[in-house]
Amino acid sequence: MNRMTYVKQMVWVSGAFLACTLLMACGGGNDTPGAEPEQPETPITPDEPKEDAELTAYKAPAYIDNYTGMAGWTQRSQWNLSNVHDPTVMRADDGYYYMYQTDASYGNVHEGHGHFHARRSKDLVKWEYLGGTMPNAPAWVKDSLNAIRFRQGLPAIDAPRYGYWAPTARNIGGGKYRMYYSIVVDNYIKSGAANTVANFDRSWTERAFIGYMETTNPADNNSWEDKGYVLCSASDKGKDDWTRPNTNDWTGYFKFNAIDPSLLVTPQGEHWLVYGSWHSGFALLQLDPETGKPLQPLSEPWNITDTSGYGVQIATRGNSRWQGSEAPELIYNATTGYYYLFMAYDALDVPYNTRVARSQNIDGPYYGIDGSKALGAGDLLPVVTHPYRFNNNNGWVGFSHCCIFDDGAGNWYYASQARFPPDVAGINASNAIMMGHVRTIRWTSDGWPLVLPERYGNVPRIAITEDELIGNWEHIDLSYSYGQQKTASVMTLGSNHKITSGTWTGATWSYDAATQILTANNQRLYLSRECDWEASPRTHTIVYSAYGTNHKTYWGKKVVDN
């Protein structure tokens, strides 16, 4: 199912049954500059270590995941991370993290209230909803569309149908902030008619456009100034080769689909944009830092080559023209010396999962953890996130389209949407419920990012002792299975350094407290204290994430005794 079809179905289902909402946000913890304390101060008795007191006083986030009871537009001040889709997060000079997103909400309650809605937070837990940043589609989108259609000998489209998708926001320095966004035109190329089954005219649907806005004050949604056209979807076929014999044909007219932009400013001050989705992989192009536009002139958006200005291909998923991959996110980690390209695989309703590749050069080549090429024919490893479920919970699916950000002090975070599974009892259109998830990233000793299995909850970063590891754990093999929600099994770490039951029974375990790495069955499991979101009441626990010696992904958490 393609992205556009699913979004419309999701909207129709939730709108048809319940007038409610969806939106999201993300931010930093008490190790984040400017973070506000989440827990009340607790008196410490002389006999009570300060570290134990901090954990005892810990207060877990209280916001609910099933937000259907507060999904109306008038309840938006309560949303926190409810109704988040395709988030992007940037850290601003005022100490806040700002989050922006695709237009989407449970019941479509956002409609009529602007586009690319915003939130902000100082602690990555409490998020303040700010509303839309773009009142209406800028005039240049329609003008550019019809100018291209004129050159193709096609009639103008008087009232294009727009989708507002997947922005990327960055603090570019010098007090300036830029947001690149995509506006999709949902009309058929041949006739210009709206994209419906009844209107199918044996052509592909029209192109998407990427533009950008700029501000010096992200706290004021009205301060964003639109800077206009950056590029559009481009084809390596002729300007008239847009026919499609039927809706089961997937030979795609466009090579690069101008959606899902991600901006990276390198340490040298270069600006690079990566974009693309579901067609022929991802394109990377260099921008002029001053203008924010392509550094090289753009040719006509047909018959393009690597020198046409639309960028060079840096990653694909196979060799077809219709690939189940989207949402490229490009970052640089100065500590490891690598550029990392994150991407989403598969349909966004349930199977959505995240992969990553890396390169020492921004333009590649990018490789997966097993040495596979990002421009190869196979799927990339590792699996970074995947549909999953810990015990005593419905778990999460549709878990991808990430943004990666840091706090400027070496702490990295992963933020994305995640959905309730379909057909959760007692919840109408449960798969249309989308929460924003923010998670801590740990980096392996050889420089790969591990996303932790529980959402960030501002748990004190107290050292983990070996004695705490003894007991029951919920263990998940997070390796790829299309559309399958991976479930947990119980594994017990005995006091004799043996695994006494469950997964890896009979194997030994050991712990390096200096690195907070638990080695079990010869697998290096990276630990962290995080919030146990499935416990009742929520509390703190210990979790692990790992890429195994066989390139499998493992997640786990210590079972909390309530």
| Residue 254 contacts residue 303 (beta carbons within 8 Å) | no
Kindly state the helix (H) or strand (E) to which residue 139 belongs, with its residue range.
helix 139-151
Expressed in angstroms, the distance from the first to the final Cα of the chain is 43
pLDDT tens for the 562 residues of the chain, in order: 344 333 333 333 333 333 333 333 333 333 333 333 343 333 333 344 567 899 999 999 999 999 999 999 999 999 999 999 999 999 999 999 999 999 999 999 999 999 999 999 999 999 999 999 999 999 999 999 999 999 999 999 999 999 999 999 999 999 999 999 999 999 999 999 999 999 999 999 999 999 999 999 999 999 999 999 999 999 999 999 999 999 999 999 999 999 999 999 999 999 999 999 999 999 999 999 999 999 999 999 999 999 999 999 999 998 889 999 999 999 999 999 999 999 999 999 999 999 999 999 999 999 999 999 999 878 999 999 999 999 999 999 999 999 999 999 999 999 999 999 999 999 999 999 999 999 999 999 999 999 999 999 999 999 999 999 999 999 999 999 999 999 999 999 999 999 999 999 999 999 999 999 999 999 999 999 999 999 999 999 999 999 998 899 999 999 998 6
- Strands 388-389 and 486-487, by their bridges, are parallel
CA of 276: how far to CAs of 244, 456, 474, 505, in Å?
A: 21, 29, 37, 45
Residue found under tokens 């596979």: 372
Q: Rounded CA gap, 127 and 115, in Å?
A: 18
Counting every residue, how long is the chain?
562
Question: Within 10 A of 497 (CB to CB), how many other CB atoms are there?
Answer: 15
Residue found under tokens 């949604």: 221
Kindly state the helix (H) or strand (E) to which residue 173 belongs, with its residue range.
strand 162-173
- Joined tokens for residue 278: 């579901």
Q: Which of 492, 477, 484 is nearest to 550 (CA)?
A: 477
Amino acid at 50: K
Q: Rounded CA gap, 311 and 263, in Å?
A: 13
Q: Which residues of 128-166 are buried (b: 16+ CB within 10 A; e: fewer)?
A: ebbebbbeebbebbbebbbebbeeeebeebeebebbbbb
- Joined tokens for residue 265: 């400013």
pTM: 0.91
- Check residue 52 and give its pLDDT: 86
For the chain, domain boundaries: 469-558
Q: Rounded CA gap, 529 and 461, in Å?
A: 7
* Bridge partners (DSSP) listed for residue 495: none
- Joined tokens for residue 212: 């950008």
CA of 298: how far to CAs of 157, 233, 289, 304, 484, in Å?
A: 23, 12, 17, 9, 42
- Check residue 378 and give its pLDDT: 86
CATH number of 469-558: 2.40.128.10
* Bridge partners (DSSP) listed for residue 253: none
- Check residue 456 and give its pLDDT: 98
- Check residue 49 and give its pLDDT: 57
| Residue 221 contacts residue 129 (beta carbons within 8 Å) | no
| Residue 265 contacts residue 271 (beta carbons within 8 Å) | yes
| Residue 182 contacts residue 208 (beta carbons within 8 Å) | yes
Give me the phi and psi of 343, to 5 degrees please. -155, 155
- Joined tokens for residue 39: 């827990």
Q: Which residues of 516-538 are buried (b: 16+ CB within 10 A; e: fewer)?
A: bbbebbebbbbbbbbbbbbbeeb
| Residue 205 contacts residue 258 (beta carbons within 8 Å) | no
- Coil vs helix vs strand at 406: strand
- Coil vs helix vs strand at 55: helix
